[in-house]
Structure 1
Amino acid sequence: MVSKHIRLLKDLALIDESFQTSHLFRIKKKIDASTCDAIHDSDLTHPVFVYTPQQSPYIGGEFELEISLPLDYPSTTPRVKFRTQIYSPIVDESGTVSCLPILQRWLTYPMNSRSLSDILAEIDYYITHLEDVDEPHRPTLLTEWKNDPVLFIKIAEQQTKESAKSQKR
């Protein structure tokens, strides 16, 4: 069973390595290839990550996000969804994120150059660099950020305090 998921297991291990020092992302449920008998397809194909942004207005919040991976990953585009509500133009009201350039162009990149780590890095970048967002899910939030950034930050901070409370590890 593990043999068909080797690429996915490598990507999950890379995420642990890549984000270990920054504490930006962590896998909520550790998956260990050495205990392959206990691994279920759903654990591998729907990993849940905890995102702890390091920049305002989301500092202090922990956001859960799930990446739905097809069994033929990385041949098919993954789907990303925030389980925790986040006030951001790149995330729609249901939590879906599909406006990231990496997801929009997933199939045009060589198979060995796409990874979960790249998706997570892009999420962090576009959450905190709204000036580079071209195709938001919620254009009104992007307009609010451009026209009244103080209001946007105030609402995002409040929602972070209410929805994304830091969990004890």
Structure 2
Amino acid sequence: MAGRIAEELREARSWSGACDLRPLDGNLLRWGGLLLPNKPPYSAGAFRFELAFSPHHPLSPPRATLRTSIYHPGVDTAGRVCQPLTSAQHWAPTTRAIQVLQDLLLLLDSPDTERVLRQELSRELRLQPELFWRRAEEHTRCHAEPRPDRPAP
């Protein structure tokens, strides 16, 4: 298992959607890094995340958590993410960590009223989209980290 996770870390480090990707506290089962969204308003910043692997990886899915506060219907205030790819019923042992990170970035780039953990934000996005986007932009400005000039490998 450690060999596969190390290989997946090398693979994920070559992806341009994240940077500063590394084991946390030297633990290969916990990765940290910065996600770099592609679309406004989230593309104005970078979002710190953690990916925690089960000791049973790849038989069990990893858990993604956003450590940077975000105004998004698919991410709750504790940073838990609505990510069907990592749910037990959708997980496949052949799924790679880079796919989990790509799915997470897609979630951030495209807020969806179906992949929801915060009903009030989903409702706002559906009924008052201009207000939602304005609040998301302000929240990103206040909470997101500055984007690095160039993602580190």
| TM-score using structure 1 length | 0.78
Structure (1 or 2) with the larger CA radius of gyration = 1
Q: Quick one: which of 131, 134, 150 aligns to 1:154?
A: 134
SS in 1 for 2:65: strand
Count of aligned pairs: 149
User: How far did residue 28 of structure 1 move?
Assistant: 3.5
Partner of 2:46: 62
Separation of aligned partners in 1, 2:60 and 2:90: 7
Q: Report which of the two has the higher share of strand.
A: 2
The CA RMSD over aligned residues, in Å, is 2.2
The answer to which structure, 1 or 2, has the higher relative contact order (CA under 8 A, 6+ apart) is 2
Letter in 2 for 1:120: L
Letter in 2 for 1:46: R
**Partners of 1:51 and 1:63 within 8 A in 2:** yes
- Going from structure 1 to structure 2, the CA distance change for 1:108 and 1:50 (only over 3 Å counts) comes to closer
Structure 1: tracts of 5 or more residues without a match: 32-38
**Partners of 2:72 and 2:121 within 8 A in 1:** yes
Separation of aligned partners in 2, 1:119 and 1:140: 26
Letter in 1 for 2:143: S
SS in 2 for 1:72: coil
Partner of 1:53: 37
SS in 2 for 1:114: coil
Which aligned segments of 4 or more residues in structure 1 are displaced greater than 6 angstroms?
A: none
Separation of aligned partners in 1, 2:50 and 2:59: 18
User: How far did residue 168 of structure 1 move?
Assistant: 5.3
Q: Report which of the two has the higher share of helix.
A: 1
Partner of 2:19: 26
Partner of 2:102: 121
Partner of 2:6: 9
Structure 2: tracts of 5 or more residues without a match: none
User: How far did residue 78 of structure 1 move?
Assistant: 1.3
**Partners of 1:27 and 1:47 within 8 A in 2:** no
- Going from structure 1 to structure 2, the CA distance change for 1:67 and 1:106 (only over 3 Å counts) comes to farther
Separation of aligned partners in 1, 2:147 and 2:45: 9
Separation of aligned partners in 2, 1:65 and 1:147: 29
- Going from structure 1 to structure 2, the CA distance change for 1:107 and 1:149 (only over 3 Å counts) comes to closer
User: How far did residue 59 of structure 1 move?
Assistant: 1.7
Letter in 1 for 2:97: L
User: How far did residue 124 of structure 1 move?
Assistant: 1.4
Letter in 1 for 2:4: R
